[in-house]
Amino acid sequence: MSEHENGFSDNPQWQELKLPQLLFTDTVRELHSTIDNEWNSLQRSACQTAAGRALWKHVINDPLADLLAGEAHLKTVYEKIKKDRLNNAREISGVILAIRTLWFDSQIEAALNSFNDKEAQVVLLGAGMDARAYRLGCLKDSDVFEVDFPEVLQVKATLIQAAMESRDEQQHLKMTAKSLTRVAADIRENDWLEKLQISGFKPEKKTVWVLEGIIYYLSHTQAMQVLKIIADKRTLVHTVLLADFMNKSSTTLSNSTFIFYSDWPDHLLPSLGFSHVKLSQIGDPDAHFGLMHDPLNLFNKLRSLPRSIQTHPDDGTPCCRLYLVQASGSPNQTIP
Ligand SMILES: C[S@@+](CC[C@H](N)C(=O)[O-])C[C@H]1O[C@@H](n2cnc3c(N)ncnc32)[C@H](O)[C@@H]1O
């Protein structure tokens, strides 16, 4: 098959899959074999998202994404993208993830700029294979806390250590955050905040909370508990919450593993005490990043429908939406 026929190399932004040498060293191979054979699907979702970022490297600068994703996840996402391109699909696999990543990147920077203090904290709940502490310059004065299951954080730390020690990577790779602390905790339990504080999190310090790709894995009670704990912090100090929410249709698809949903997070969060809430959908001006040109793609079609509509009037398919939400609050705000 020629390069043109395989539909990949005809467009320079999509390159053939090139796996970095580091993936083939003994340590890294062993770690990824543990991930593939011993982690549950919830934990492996961390590698899937990293694979998405690695394959969308023409728009996302994440030098660790290939290493953290591993060969199996990279190949799976690569094949999906290849198939979409061969079929001239309107939406290429991973585009939601790419936009979501870029939206969180830009919102983290905006939130930190909105604080008058230079020093702040950024807490990533369900951090998975997120490498922002190594790739975002805006974190230079921030203490970053990554919360996830102990197995995930330990394997991640060892993979990053391997990259730091590798001669190929070490010139390029350095931490961009002021500090990084990994906190092993299950956010379904009621001791995660205590574990965060024992690790150095200061409740009185301005904080950006990042809940990216995590909240819908929780039950309704667990998700509300987490959101309330974060909302309560705004009575002490300026607090920003960044989170993505699925609507009900997204969680009720057959074989969905998602539980929590909110059709109206822009009503839910003010009811918990946040004063400013901004909701965006994929394709909106602040959630576009030049990747949503086709007016007929799924996301642009959804945006033109009222949010209360649950099934698409053209074909009766469920309106599956992902809401990107920024909410903030501070001690001196007027109570809604
Ligand atoms: C889809 S991944 C998203 C990872 C990361 N936020 C990103 O966007 O790349 C979900 C992550 O949440 C973590 N996670 C899920 N449930 C959790 C819980 N109850 N406590 C802590 N971490 C959890 C998983 O281990 C996984 O790393």
Mean pLDDT of the chain: 92
Distance 40 CA to ligand 1 centre (A): 12
On whether both 105 and 205 belong to a single domain, the answer is: yes
Distance 151 CA to ligand 1 centre (A): 12
Question: For 202-229, what is each residue's pLDDT tens digit?
Answer: 999 999 999 999 999 999 999 999 999 9
Separation between Cα atoms, residue 283 and residue 66, nearest integer Å: 26
Distance 125 CA to ligand 1 centre (A): 7
Helix-then-strand count for the chain, H and E: 13, 7
On whether both 168 and 305 belong to a single domain, the answer is: yes
Question: For 294-332, what is each residue's pLDDT tens digit?
Answer: 888 888 889 999 999 999 988 888 999 999 999 999 997
Which atom of ligand 1 lies nearest, measured to the CA of 101? 8
Distance 128 CA to ligand 1 centre (A): 5
On whether both 274 and 146 belong to a single domain, the answer is: yes
Residue ending a domain, choose from 69, 86, 103: 86
Q: Average pLDDT in the 36-63 region?
A: 96
On whether both 188 and 284 belong to a single domain, the answer is: yes
Closest C-alpha among 188, 74, 174, 67 to residue 126 = 188
Q: Average pLDDT in the 187-211 region?
A: 97
Residue ending a domain, choose from 34, 58, 86: 86
Residue 15 domain flag: no
Q: What are the residues facing 183 on neighbouring strands?
A: 147
Which atom of ligand 1 lies nearest, measured to the CA of 210? 6
On whether both 44 and 187 belong to a single domain, the answer is: no
Q: List the CATH number of the domain containing 240.
A: 3.40.50.150
Pocket probe for ligand 1: among 148, 188, 193, 226, the residue whose CB has the most ligand atoms within 8 Å is: 148
pLDDT at 169: 61
On whether both 52 and 104 belong to a single domain, the answer is: no
Separation between Cα atoms, residue 58 and residue 204, nearest integer Å: 39
On whether both 135 and 46 belong to a single domain, the answer is: no
On whether both 219 and 75 belong to a single domain, the answer is: no
Separation between Cα atoms, residue 49 and residue 53, nearest integer Å: 6
Residues 6+ apart with CB under 8 A from 322: 96, 100, 244, 245, 246, 247, 250, 281, 282
On whether both 49 and 128 belong to a single domain, the answer is: no
Distance 49 CA to ligand 1 centre (A): 10
Residue 186 domain flag: yes
Ligand 1 contacts (CB < 6 A) are 42-43, 45-46, 49, 126-130, 147-149, 152, 186-188, 212-214, 217
Residue 207 is part of which domain span? Answer: 95-329
Question: How many structural domains comprise the chain?
Answer: 2
Question: For 112-130, what is each residue's pLDDT tens digit?
Answer: 999 987 889 999 999 999 9
Structure tokens at 264: 């109206």
Residue 213 domain flag: yes
Percent of the chain with pLDDT over 70: 94
On whether both 196 and 237 belong to a single domain, the answer is: yes
Distance 16 CA to ligand 1 centre (A): 29
Which atom of ligand 1 lies nearest, measured to the CA of 97? 8
Distance 186 CA to ligand 1 centre (A): 10
On whether both 74 and 131 belong to a single domain, the answer is: no
Pocket probe for ligand 1: among 149, 196, 260, the residue whose CB has the most ligand atoms within 8 Å is: 149
On whether both 192 and 73 belong to a single domain, the answer is: no
Separation between Cα atoms, residue 65 and residue 58, nearest integer Å: 13
